[in-house]
């Protein structure tokens, strides 16, 4: 497929766009069926007076890798320079990350090359953070493209998450926070961690009770071993199962709010959590 809608979708999201020449036909091959967006930094030092130092190399490619090297380059001022509507050589192989499967990353993802130096200190190179304008434009553009692709914010990844060759880009960015910002831009609730401490259950068909005893109708059932978030524990009815007896109950917030006897939770009989307030 070609993402010939890219420039229009970005403009509709309020992103400044420069269409770079023959971007609609510029291509690095035919296999392109994107299911996500991949974030990069170029490792070039940008500035107000030289906002897009890596633009030409992203268009033309390098001696060892033919262009285009991304779908858009994001300059120092947050302007999106749209380079290709087709397959681009930006991702290499994908190791698989979040909902993005392992495979040919250039088939699977749309790529933004955000033009800043990142952390080049390991190679004695420059060090530069992403500008606020680049961050904000990248979030807005990613939200718009994922909406168009019918994907949620989890389908935005950083190259360092999908790389099989130790890529570090994009430097200085909390990728979970950036995804949360994309989710907000898409009108979705950001992914949140439930309150409490995560523990695992190990048994099947564990009932979650409204009170720390077996008298109440279960508010839910944990069909198979899962992660529960324990807020506190409290003494209650003694329960025996699988050769253990325990009278402590964990008050959990997720996946269902209620009480689970500690006998069904991995760990010591008394979990390292606080006692529930009476
Ligand atoms: Zn990269």
CA of 78 to the centre of ligand 1 (A): 18
Closest alpha carbon to 230 in 190, 265, 278: 265
Low-confidence residues in the chain, pLDDT < 50:
none
Task: Report pLDDT for 21.
Answer: 97
CA of 218 to the centre of ligand 1 (A): 49
Task: Report pLDDT for 191.
Answer: 63
Task: Report pLDDT for 93.
Answer: 96
CA of 162 to the centre of ligand 1 (A): 9
CA of 89 to the centre of ligand 1 (A): 10
The answer regarding whether domain 197-264 maps to CATH 2.30.30 reads yes
Segments making up each domain of the chain, as ranges: 6-185, 197-264
CA of 169 to the centre of ligand 1 (A): 5
Strands (E), the chain: 17-19, 36-41, 61-62, 65-66, 72-74, 80-82, 93-97, 100-104, 109-114, 118-119, 127-128, 156-158, 197-200, 206-208, 220-222, 227-241, 244-254, 258-261
CA of 40 to the centre of ligand 1 (A): 4
CA of 165 to the centre of ligand 1 (A): 10
Class of domain 6-185 as given by CATH: alpha beta
CA of 63 to the centre of ligand 1 (A): 17
Which residues are placed with Cβ below 5 angstroms of ligand 1, an ion? 40, 159, 169
Q: How many CB atoms lie within 10 A of CB 25?
A: 11
Task: Report pLDDT for 5.
Answer: 98
Q: In whole angstroms, give the CA distance from residue 34 to residue 135.
A: 22
CA of 114 to the centre of ligand 1 (A): 9
CB 71 within 8 A of CB 24: no
- β 244-254/227-241 pair status: antiparallel
CA of 145 to the centre of ligand 1 (A): 19
């Amino acid at each position: 497929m070609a993402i010939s809608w890219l420039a229009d979708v970005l403009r509709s999201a309020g992103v400044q766009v420069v269409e770079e020449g023959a971007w609609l036909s510029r291509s690095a091959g035919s296999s392109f069926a994107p299911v996500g967006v991949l974030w990069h930094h170029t490792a070039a030092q940008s500035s107000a007076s030289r906002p897009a130092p890596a633009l030409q190399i992203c268009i033309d490619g390098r001696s060892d890798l033919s262009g285009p090297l991304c779908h858009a380059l994001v300059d120092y001022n947050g302007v999106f320079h749209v380079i290709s509507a087709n397959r681009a050589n930006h991702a290499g192989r994908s190791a698989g990350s979040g909902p993005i499967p392992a495979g040919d990353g250039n088939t699977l993802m749309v790529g933004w090359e955000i033009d800043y130096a990142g952390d080049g200190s390991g190679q004695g190179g420059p060090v530069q953070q992403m500008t606020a304008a680049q961050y904000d434009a990248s979030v807005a553009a990613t939200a718009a493209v994922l909406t168009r692709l019918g994907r949620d914010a989890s389908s935005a990844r950083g190259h360092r998450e999908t790389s099989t060759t130790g890529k570090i880009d994009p430097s200085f960015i909390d990728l979970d926070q950036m995804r949360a910002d994309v989710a907000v831009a898409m009108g979705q609730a950001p992914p949140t961690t439930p309150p409490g401490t995560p523990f695992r259950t190990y048994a099947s068909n564990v009932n979650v009770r409204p009170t720390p005893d077996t008298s109440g109708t279960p508010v839910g059932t944990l069909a198979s071993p899962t992660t529960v978030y324990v807020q506190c524990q409290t003494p209650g009815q003694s329960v025996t199962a699988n050769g253990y007896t325990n009278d402590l109950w964990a008050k959990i917030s997720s996946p269902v709010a209620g009480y689970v006897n500690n006998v069904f939770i991995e760990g010591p009989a008394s979990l390292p959590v606080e006692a529930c307030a009476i």
